[in-house]
Amino acid sequence: MSDNKEPPPLFDNVDIFDKDDDDDLFASAMDNIGSQFSENSNEAPKLQLSFDGEPLQNENSHSPKPLLTELPKLQLNFDKGGESAPTPVDEFEEEVKLKSPEPPKAIKPSAEETEKDDQFIEIAVGEPNRMGEGMAAYVAYRVQTHTNIPLFRKKTFSVHRRFSDFLGLHDKLVDKYLRAGRIIPPAPEKSVMGMTKVKMSAQNEQGASSEFIERRRASLERYLRRTAEHPTFRVDPDFREFLEAEMELPKATNTAALSSAGVMRLFNKVGETVNKITYKMDENDPWFEEKVGQVESLDAQLRKLLLSVESLVLGRKDLAALTSSFAKSAAMLSNCEEHSSLSRALAQLADVEEKVEAVHNDQSNTDFAILCELLRDYVALIGSVRDVFHERVKVYQNWQHSQLMLNKKREQKAKLDLANKPDKATVAQEIVEWEAKVERCQEEFTNISKMIKKEMERLDISRVKDFKATIIKYLEEQMTHQQQLIKHWEAFLPEAKAIA
């Protein structure tokens, strides 16, 4: 029966074969589609085909418009009661806009981070005062602090501290932070000979003792500033007490070089040195293996540069002394010379050489105060880096020892299980304890490794900053000295040319 059925017409009530040749069959078909599309509306929508907003056909003619040189954009606009229905393209664009992620917004720092970045602390050590007489004498330094950190009670304050107080502060920081992997800035070393000269010298004597005190004052100031640069040390309770406690701090007796604590400290250093030499750690982290090599190379180069700068300082001092000798000889020769213009020129030369001597002495002091002290500080700081690396090795030793003891206890328990002895319960409890200890040691080793990497990154940034500032300052000082020399010799040149 299905074969006898006729197919339904394509469009209801429309006979496309009865149309005249002049009729637009395509338009009639689209009109019927529009009527079916909006059968519920009062007015059938009118389908318009347009290219870039221009209608494809003229109202009075069925001939299409000529094609453009570029392919225009086809737009389908359904005119329905003055409103345009959204096309599938528009719906797709809206969907893309809804699904597409918004551009990332600039992250503004929080108020706490901004406040933390604005925090500062400035420390100056000055006014060294000698207290007491004889071998009981000591030097107290005034420590002035200016800061806006909220943990401090005041913004500006000053206290008096002796050298042993600085060493006591350093020991406290080492006890609290070295095991955690922090690099503690090294405190200035004790100088028994230098301090003995200060104690034995009279109150009003100047010279070597005053130069020693000034160098120690500068080194103590650098130590406090370097400590205050660390975000953890600057808020440490002991550090804050050192800076703002008006009362005198308890005397740190264990810092004395000739005390029993000093002797024990010396033996401990010897033992640590032997341990460093004898024990070799199987390094599995390539970062530490590379960094240890860099530290060793940096230490060797810094020590070579320090020796060269010290030789430069001595050479400039010798040059200043020889210049002074030359000035005296020129002055004596000017007194013996009968030629007036030559005698006057020699006398002027002697004056110029004396001024040059002062410039050479200033250059020598600049070389020492700027370059030598910086290099000495960093040689000592490399020693602190070695200490924290060795602390990591000791943590690794404890971890391996705990693992070894755990294996022994497990072997012992296995033997007791085979023998079915009653002591196996006690051994099982010990195994649980050693397992916990192994886990703690492993966690401690992981934490100290992470902390050392973080500290080394901060130290690298600080080192570049310090060396850049020091080199710029050193060059500026050298340029000033050279300008002074040029000024002195240019003033002498007319006198030399006037010799007749």
* Structural domain span for residue 484: 289-500
Distance CA 436, CA 7 (A): 87
Could you tell me if residue 268 is inside a domain? Answer: no
pLDDT at 110 over 70: no
pLDDT at 229 over 60: yes
**pLDDT score, position 6:** 52
Distance CA 445, CA 441 (A): 6
Query: Do 61 and 132 reside in the same domain of the chain?
Result: no
pLDDT band at residue 119 under the 50/70/90 scheme: confident
**pLDDT score, position 273:** 58
Mean per-residue pLDDT over the chain, rounded: 78
**pLDDT score, position 311:** 95
Query: Do 82 and 124 reside in the same domain of the chain?
Result: no
pLDDT band at residue 84 under the 50/70/90 scheme: very low
pLDDT band at residue 14 under the 50/70/90 scheme: very low
Query: Do 246 and 166 reside in the same domain of the chain?
Result: yes
Could you tell me if residue 274 is inside a domain? Answer: no
* Last residue of one domain, picked from the residues 99, 133, 151: 99
The mean pLDDT value for 473-481 works out to 95
Range of weakest confidence among 97-106, 173-182, 407-416: 97-106
Range of weakest confidence among 44-58, 175-189, 308-322: 44-58
pLDDT tens column, 124-182: 998 888 887 767 778 899 999 999 999 999 999 999 999 999 999 999 999 999 999 99
pLDDT at 389 over 50: yes
* Last residue of one domain, picked from the residues 224, 252, 280: 252
The mean pLDDT value for 215-219 works out to 90
Could you tell me if residue 475 is inside a domain? Answer: yes
The two three-digit tokens of residue 124, written as one number: 């100056």
**pLDDT score, position 42:** 46
The mean pLDDT value for 213-237 works out to 93
CB environment 215-253: b (16+ within 10 A), e (fewer): bbbebbbbbbebbbebeebbbbebbbebbbeeeebeebe
- Maximum CA pair distance of the chain? 152
**pLDDT score, position 270:** 53
Evaluate whether 10 touches 26 at the Cβ level (below 8 Å): no
pLDDT band at residue 236 under the 50/70/90 scheme: very high
Query: Do 302 and 177 reside in the same domain of the chain?
Result: no
The mean pLDDT value for 294-309 works out to 95
**pLDDT score, position 250:** 76
Could you tell me if residue 319 is inside a domain? Answer: yes
Query: Do 366 and 490 reside in the same domain of the chain?
Result: yes
The mean pLDDT value for 466-492 works out to 95
Could you tell me if residue 124 is inside a domain? Answer: yes
pLDDT band at residue 262 under the 50/70/90 scheme: low
Evaluate whether 391 touches 179 at the Cβ level (below 8 Å): yes
How many structural domains is the chain composed of? 3
Query: Do 235 and 166 reside in the same domain of the chain?
Result: yes
* Last residue of one domain, picked from the residues 30, 64, 99: 99
Query: Do 305 and 196 reside in the same domain of the chain?
Result: no
Could you tell me if residue 262 is inside a domain? Answer: no
**pLDDT score, position 191:** 77
Could you tell me if residue 6 is inside a domain? Answer: no
pLDDT band at residue 82 under the 50/70/90 scheme: very low
Whichever domain contains 244, its CATH number is 3.30.1520.10
Query: Do 149 and 83 reside in the same domain of the chain?
Result: no
Query: Do 247 and 310 reside in the same domain of the chain?
Result: no
Distance CA 388, CA 457 (A): 14
pLDDT at 40 over 60: no
- Across the chain, how many H-helices and E-strands are there? 12, 7
Whichever domain contains 349, its CATH number is 1.20.1270.60
Cα-Cα-Cα-Cα dihedral sign, residues 274, 280, 284, 285 = positive
pLDDT tens column, 419-472: 887 777 888 899 999 999 999 999 999 999 999 999 999 999 999 999 999 999
**How buried is residue 195: exposed, middle or buried, by Cβ count under 10 Å (0-12/13-18/19+)?**
buried
Query: Do 329 and 424 reside in the same domain of the chain?
Result: yes
**pLDDT score, position 272:** 58
**pLDDT score, position 3:** 47
pLDDT at 280 over 90: no
**pLDDT score, position 211:** 81
Distance CA 392, CA 281 (A): 10
Query: Do 213 and 335 reside in the same domain of the chain?
Result: no
Query: Do 144 and 229 reside in the same domain of the chain?
Result: yes
**pLDDT score, position 374:** 92
Could you tell me if residue 382 is inside a domain? Answer: yes
Single out the residue of 364, 358, 331 nearest to residue 484, CA to CA.
358
